[in-house]
Amino acid sequence: MRHHHIDAAGIRLHVVEQGSGPAILFCHGFPAIWSSWRSQMQAVADAGWRAIALDMRGYGESDAPEEAEAYMAVHCVGDLVAVLDALGIATAVVAGHDFGANVAWNAAMLRPDRFTAVFAISVPFIQPGGPTFLDELRAAGMDDFYMFAQIRPEADAAWVDAATTIPGNYYWTSGQAPAALRWDPFDPARGLLRPAPEPLSAIDPVYIAEAVARFAETGFHGGLNYYRAIDPFYALAGRAYAGAVIRQPSFFLTGGRDGLNAVRQPSEAALRPALPGLRGFLTIEQAGHWPQLEAAAQVNAVLTGFLAGLASQPAGHNQEERP
């Protein structure tokens, strides 16, 4: 693997590459680091692709701006464009998980000239326009929704003990956790910050140790700022990009035991109007919020199959459209 540090308009980004060929850029979510994609990077490199993963701004070896507005998706999309420019890459497929999926969707929406296809895990495309889902929850009086706690300033301190919070978060959001106790985004008693009651077997312990070490160094302020940037970004996007669709080829994958599904249950029928280029939708029933870690072999097979399909039909052409 090849490691770089790239300047993106004053933000120093840590970027890791493997393989050669057409490019695919991997974006992680919270609380994760670039190596959450290690298995997928190896798989796509073996399939003839140039795999590129980065520590998203606010994480790992990348810079972490203090202000929340710096984490709006539009700035993160700018980071991805800067990575492509620095590496001399004209276009790339973009893959993302969790907040990284949100960045990936927005990259495809805002820069279809640079991002030719999307592979997203856990977070579906949220079409701009109308009230945001956070506003809808506020209006419904659902003040216990977990994101409202993540937005508060005291969340930084609540997460700070990475040796406890990282294994606990991954355990309770994984498919390994008992169904009756698994993370529920609407129930603080089944929240993210509970210590893991048993060893986490669903996810590679080497990766968990890497994540613990990184967050022990950096803290969680940068990662939590992605939650704090939701309202300002969607206020902007709702005015500027209302009704936008993503026409490039896309694929959405989720875990059947992912607590996020309680927020907005994804389905192919619900996604397709805003994703006319949607080529596939898959639920991995035994996985929780981390399919790329919990069911790596299955995700790798689906991802490489999606990429192979792009080679047979040029990315950017919408197979759903007919003259």
The Cα–Cα gap between 280 and 272 comes to: 10
CA angle in degrees (0–180, nearest 5) for 138-143-149: 115
DSSP per residue over 295-313, as a string?
A: THHHHHHHHHHHHHHHHHS
Dig out the tokens for 188 from the structure. 């603080």
- Selected catalytic residue, list 14, 28, 221, 289: 289
Between strands 23-27 and 92-97, the pairing is parallel
| Amino acid in position 313 | Q
Sequence-separated (6 or more) residues with CB below 8 Å from residue 209: none
- Any catalytic annotation for residue 3? no
Place of tokens 């009651």: 197
- Selected catalytic residue, list 63, 79, 98, 258: 98
- Selected catalytic residue, list 71, 227, 234, 258: 227
- Any catalytic annotation for residue 289? yes
DSSP per residue over 121-163, as a string?
A: ESS-----SSS-HHHHHHHTT-TT-HHHHHHSTTHHHHH--HH
**3-class DSSP assignment, residue 3:** strand
Place of tokens 């895990």: 121
**3-class DSSP assignment, residue 39:** helix
Dig out the tokens for 131 from the structure. 């009230």
Q: How far apart are the first and last CA of the chain?
A: 44
- Any catalytic annotation for residue 98? yes
Which residues are identified as catalytic?
A: 98, 227, 289
